[in-house]
Amino acid sequence: MTLLVEHLSQILIVLGLLALIVEVAVLGFATFVLFFLGLSLVLSGLMMSVGLLDATLMNALWVNALLTAALAGVLWQPLKRMQAKTQSTEVNSDFADITFTLSEDLNEQSQLTHAYSGITWQLKSETPIAKGTTVKVVKKSVGVLWVAALERQD
């Protein structure tokens, strides 16, 4: 027990760093509870090693409880906003390089489909395209291939 009290500040810092590592590396910053606890453990360990706090178990308990609550109150909303920001990027793959000739006219009302890779895809286009036109897949979504007419190179 005396070994614990003698090295309490170092133990708190190590436990705090472990909690931060688990939160970021293992949980992927999904929950903030370990983040707040880890920060409070590191801060209280630093305060004890500098001499701002007496290195007792009761001080460690109370300071960590108060610091965890204060950090949660202050940082919860900014971290939640940061976590809510997402970027959606279109992935371009060889799948989008498919070209074929339309067997029917394609417009907003048509229910034209195209079989590719064992799946029957619904075809859609932003502009009407006439039958017999060679088209290229420009975008894909679930069950839908978005196509555009290929420019002729004469």
* Residue 114 pLDDT: 86
Q: Are residues 56 and 108 in the same domain?
A: no
Distance CA 22, CA 34 (A): 8
* Residue 81 pLDDT: 84
- Give the range of the structural domain holding residue 141, as residue numbers without chain letter: 99-149
Q: What is the pLDDT of residues 3-48, one digit of tens each?
A: 777 888 899 999 999 999 998 888 887 778 899 999 999 999 999 9
Q: What is the pLDDT of residues 53-106, one digit of tens each?
A: 888 889 899 999 999 999 999 988 888 888 777 777 666 665 557 888 888 888
Q: Are residues 127 and 59 in the same domain?
A: no
Residue 93, in any domain of the structure: no
Q: Which two tokens stand for residue 137?
A: 């897949």
Radius of gyration of the chain measured on its C-alpha atoms: 30
* Residue 154 pLDDT: 44
Q: Are residues 69 and 2 in the same domain?
A: yes
| Count of domains for the chain | 2
Distance CA 110, CA 150 (A): 20
Q: Are residues 73 and 125 in the same domain?
A: no
pLDDT value at 153 more than 60 = no
* Residue 118 pLDDT: 83
Strand 113-116: give its sheet, edge to edge. 99-101, 134-141, 144-149, 119-124, 113-116
Q: Are residues 84 and 103 in the same domain?
A: no
Residue (of 102, 87, 90) closest to 138 by Cα position: 90
Distance CA 148, CA 130 (A): 11
Residue 20, in any domain of the structure: yes
Residue 94, in any domain of the structure: no
Distance CA 64, CA 67 (A): 5
* Residue 28 pLDDT: 81
Q: Are residues 55 and 104 in the same domain?
A: no
- Backbone conformation region of residue 22, classed left if phi is above 0, alpha if psi is from -120 to 50, else beta: alpha
